[in-house]
A and B are shown apart, each in its own frame.
Chain A
């Protein structure tokens, strides 16, 4: 009895989670420029229009650049921090994961406004660089979490064995340590990429007049004659963020699940 009630509630909540995404996917094929339901005529022509749209293309390229830059920085900083925390005991070790999580746990306007006030104060012009600085700051924690989780599950003795067998520090890293964390790095990088590609609140404070793809959507979804293109971009963005998350889920399941926090 209880089981059935909980089961039905589960299905209702799942529908609640997925119906809106389905609706927006259907609207991408709506031939009418209006948004009234039900959809009467179907078309795929908006997909061509969207892919040919210069604003969409520029925003897409900027988003890619920002995500690649932020992911690279997050990979470097996140894995260094993970190795430091895993290998050593030092003052302040316990606060590291807390500080790394702060940019995600504090309200978005706080991180955004803090960076904005700083860039303004030191006179740094808003650009791709400032976007990357903002994104990298909250992306570090996802790389860190994935790598730390993997290191915890692996044993340090295989590295000692490698050294005992005559490998030097570099060889041990190259042939023993790196293969252990490789998929965790990749999973973390994919999540960091998805996080950066999708971010909007911090970006509005650090982008100036540049438009990433989410900011392009934000600006254009209020313009009635852009609606069909916005619908198509919405579907493409959903697909683009689902693929890395699904991949990273598979990669990380070699030894657990990826975590955002």
Chain B
């Protein structure tokens, strides 16, 4: 009996495909894309001011409130601005390490460096934020260290400056890995050719290496930008400022206003959609 069933399945390729595809496609179609659809629709619902019950009629009220109330504009611009700063900082920090891995390191060193970059990526996000909170705090290691070299009284936590520092630290591996992969794909003969044709190392770097590795940088920036945009834990822990995520979280939790939270969550979705379209144009998807 088992044999006949297996033979039947083996002969019908479309049945095999169906059996393989239905569980994952069903899960992502219903649970995930379905949830995104609910989020989208919920953004157009509203909260009854008297009963605090959700009214399931479509209205633009949440979006009106987002546009007219200056507070939300400040929060949105702060979030997007800091995400941009973090992305630029991470490119600058990632480049030398990625370049060393791809061009100078011997295979063994390269393998060790690879694991050293990978480990922080996977080790507890929260613990690493917490570590920075301790380091930047009053009386912490950074203030002590700066006092030793004659710069006393620098406590960065809690402040807006702490946010980009911590984010740059947390998401750095996401930038190193794609840049490294991009640099490794450049054939060494290309750089030699540039040198043979009379270009100095600086010129080769600017006119050959940078243009070739640019899609990989954009690929890395998708992660640093998106992850910063969608975070709200770090701002709470190291500053007194709010990110989009803080407003979303507090709206659905403390205030019980799921429709407004859903509407504000549309802002990062929209920003990321635009970002991905531009990134695709720049060839980032081929560099992932």
Contacts and interface: CB of A to CB of B under 8 A. Distances in A.
Interface of A: 2-3, 5-7, 9-10, 13-14, 16-18, 20-21, 23-24, 27, 34-38, 76-78, 80-81, 83-84, 87-88, 90, 96, 99-100, 102-103, 105-111, 113-118, 120-121, 133, 136-137, 140, 168-170, 191, 194-195, 198, 200-201, 204-205, 214, 217-218, 221, 230, 234, 237-238, 241-242, 245-246, 249, 257, 260-261
Nearest to A5: B96
Given A37-B141, A78-B24, A201-B245, A107 B230 contact: yes
A24 B130 contact: yes
B153 to A, nearest CB: 14
A67 B89 CA distance: 33
B104 A249 contact: no
B35 A201 contact: no
Contacts of A237: 124, 126-127
Given A84-B20, A118-B34, 17 more contacts: A9-B97, A23-B135, A37-B141, A77-B23, A106-B272, A109-B268, A113-B265, A114-B32, A114-B38, A117-B42, A117-B262, A133-B31, A168-B7, A169-B10, A198-B124, A201-B245, A205-B249
Contacts of A230: 130
B172 interface: yes
B269 interface: yes
Interface residues of B, number: 89
Contacts of A168: 3, 6-7
Contacts of B231: 107-109, 201
A120 B23 CA distance: 24
A23 B130 CA distance: 11
Interface in B199-234: 201, 222-223, 226-227, 229-233
Nearest to A35: B134
Contacts, number: 256
A13 B96 contact: yes
A3 B233 CA distance: 38
A88 B17 contact: yes
Contact of B100 (A7, A115, A201): A7
B244 A109 contact: yes
B100 A77 contact: no
Given A20-B169, A24-B131, A105-B226, A245 B119 contact: yes
A3 B118 CA distance: 23
Given A169-B6, A201-B230, A37 B23 contact: no
Contacts of B77: none
A205 B20 contact: no
Nearest to A136: B27
A11 B134 CA distance: 23
A226 to B, nearest CB: 12
B124 A238 contact: yes
Given A14-B116, A81-B21, A237-B127, A117 B35 contact: yes
A133 B36 CA distance: 14
B193 interface: no
Contact of B121 (A169, A257, A260): A260
A23 to B, nearest CB: 6
A221 B24 CA distance: 38
B128 interface: yes
A170 to B, nearest CB: 6
Contacts of A84: 17, 20-21, 24
B283 interface: no
Given A6-B104, A24-B131, A37-B144, A117 B123 contact: no
Interface in B133-168: 133-135, 137, 139-141, 143-144
A252 to B, nearest CB: 11
Interface string B97-131: 10111011000000001111111111111111011
A249 B115 CA distance: 8
Interface string B6-38: 110110010011001101110110011111101
A126 to B, nearest CB: 11
